[in-house]
Structure 1
């Protein structure tokens, strides 16, 4: 996608804000927002300045000036903000050397793909992650000089079988018995459906969604294979959409690996396919 195509996208969708996004070294997505008029050749070539010392794992304060250069191919109309917003994932550039920043996770992905090709092992690699998460109804935690605790809750969890807060309709899921039941046991099916349709509208290919093994709203949405760089962008969109749509419905999503003692945790199994000359290398 070039500047003209981006400009047409802005005009056709009445875009009011352009969101520049960057992943820090520990994986958190961060953003800086500019007006649509800032979307020009200078932004695409020279980027937008930001404080690299304030993002985790990046620069020291005495060398904090860095640049965000948008990747035009990453353009997506963000369905979450109240105002029409165009999101662009950015590459991090060192202001001194003008090279790609070594600790930019996107650059790490690019170099990994380039190294694979340079070895001659494979021409292309496809990655397919399986991201699992929980959808909780309530999360409380405290760490103070005189107290430390956490508490999570879910309407479908088995520990609420005797709850007296309002009508208790039953339909609870026992620990380790949550794999793929139909509603009314699967309390988050409609929420997942909305997440899936939103992902599809953002260009994310999905092929399945279901309740996972644990109680308390554990879920998985399967996404199609992609190259390492593009799949990394998809994973960030995946988590962003799940968290925000859950919040819109009064729930909180977490990708923590083990939030519930004694029940299944959430993983991210990752399928890999290497090909050379169009032939799969793992096929026997």
Structure 2
């Protein structure tokens, strides 16, 4: 069961694992303890109070809270910067901290830093130094104050992007003037699943068993329908604090599964914000004692998988006549379906089966308001004749730098042959 995440007070009480008869620390009990302390006169330290409090049934005091919540701002200009990067698997986030002499406003003010790439699967042991380049800054919701989170990408000492650095290639595409002129917007729906720590089984599910079938859990409320709301809400607020462009959250179809949305974001910012939000979610689940998984199909059988649907539009799509531009983009996407699928996340074949609100991984399709298609166009877009498309193929563990830049490349920079375009147009006409 996840611990409820809430702002902690200096004297927060927690139940120990050995307690079986503990009762909540009531206001009356607190008053009694404080009264006893006051009658004895001022104490030289807080030790006596801690002893008194720890004698109440099954409760201990987290003695680190005071230090963890220290506000350094009145005492020093120095701040803590948490450098965050993507590890060798392409989905794991790594981080380490360093002291910066004063608050900063732009990544260019931060120094480059190195790490041991041989320990993250990104460099050989005999030449293990990898260099971090700061790229985006967010406020740190864990340390508060002027402290920051820093999204970085990774390079060799010679300045070449390492193979797992997908941000560098995405930045090149988004720096293309044709792409810049079209101001690509992204809204990314990140689904994820919460697992119990020891058994790696979804949160709220009976160990070794299954809950009732899907139906009541999507956007549901109640102890028998919603599992992990405290984590979702804590993550929501932490992202807003950090400056991440999070736009909403909801419980998903499979119990123990949640979704949050980031956007609309422009260009490379979409990837930076998703990776920062994933890091924050990892940290919150760490503190709550729950395991986060971005596996696209964490439970086999009649259960929904986890995707990362990517809503996309360009300036031309958002203007009058944009629906025809959207259709042309869909045509291009149909011709590069294999390229996109291969880049849309590991294990996606277990999710894209044609069931559970997905299209088959082997067949490209599109439709209006159809969640069983590769590309969905909303009713409002059809009605207004302009708007956006939703690519429903990306898996929950996709790399947002790859997906966002590939969408821009395919729809704005790539040109099919006339023969291929004509054939694809015929197929899509039959599909609709």
Higher-strand-fraction structure: 1
Instruction: Please identify the structure whose Cα radius of gyration is greater.
Output: 2
SS of the equivalent of 1:180 reads coil
1:255-266 equivalences in 2 (<5 Å): 255-262=294-301, 263-266=303-306
2:284 to 230, 241, 245: 245
Q: CA deviation at 1:234?
A: 1.4
SS of the equivalent of 1:272 reads strand
2 CA distance for matches of 1:204 and 1:61? 36
Which residue of structure 1 aligns with residue 348 of structure 2?
A: none
SS of the equivalent of 1:87 reads strand
Bigger Cα displacement from structure 2, 16-25 vs 264-273: 16-25
Compared with structure 1, are the counterparts of its residues 63 and 136 closer, same or farther at alpha carbon in structure 2 (3 Å cutoff)?
closer
SS of the equivalent of 2:237 reads helix
Which residue of structure 1 aligns with residue 113 of structure 2?
A: 48
Bigger Cα displacement from structure 2, 85-94 vs 126-135: 85-94
1:272 aligns with 2:335: no
- 1:188-245 CA distance string (max 9 Å, x none): 3333222211111111223322111112x11111222213421112111222222322
SS of the equivalent of 1:175 reads coil
* TM-score, normalised relative to structure 1: 0.70
1 CA distance for matches of 2:103 and 2:93? 21
1 CA distance for matches of 2:175 and 2:269? 14
Which residue of structure 1 aligns with residue 46 of structure 2?
A: none
Which residue of structure 2 aligns with residue 205 of structure 1?
A: 245
Q: CA deviation at 1:175?
A: 3.4
SS of the equivalent of 2:84 reads strand
1:186-205 equivalences in 2 (<5 Å): 186-205=226-245
Which residue of structure 2 aligns with residue 223 of structure 1?
A: 262
SS of the equivalent of 2:309 reads strand
2 CA distance for matches of 1:261 and 1:54? 32
1:24-173 equivalences in 2 (<5 Å): 24=87, 26-37=90-101, 44=109, 47-56=112-121, 58-71=122-135, 74-80=136-142, 85-96=147-158, 98=159, 103-115=164-176, 117-118=177-178, 123-140=182-199, 152-155=201-204, 173=212
What is the aligned length? 247
What's the RMSD between the two structures over aligned residues? 3.6
2 CA distance for matches of 1:106 and 1:19? 19
Asked if the contact 1:158–1:174 (Cα under 8 Å) also holds between the matched residues in 2, the reply is no
Asked if the contact 2:189–2:310 (Cα under 8 Å) also holds between the matched residues in 1, the reply is yes
- 1:111-158 CA distance string (max 9 Å, x none): 12134x35x695321222111111233443xxxxxxxxxx51533569
Compared with structure 1, are the counterparts of its residues 62 and 124 closer, same or farther at alpha carbon in structure 2 (3 Å cutoff)?
farther
Q: CA deviation at 1:267?
A: 0.8
Asked if the contact 1:48–1:68 (Cα under 8 Å) also holds between the matched residues in 2, the reply is yes
2:80 to 17, 37, 40: 17
- Ranges in structure 2 where 5+ consecutive residues have no aligned partner: 1-71, 327-384, 387-432
- Ranges in structure 1 where 5+ consecutive residues have no aligned partner: 1-9, 141-150, 162-171
2 CA distance for matches of 1:226 and 1:81? 26
SS of the equivalent of 1:192 reads helix
Q: Identify which of structures 1 and 2 has the higher relative contact order when contacts are C-alpha pairs closer than 8 Å and 6+ apart.
A: 1
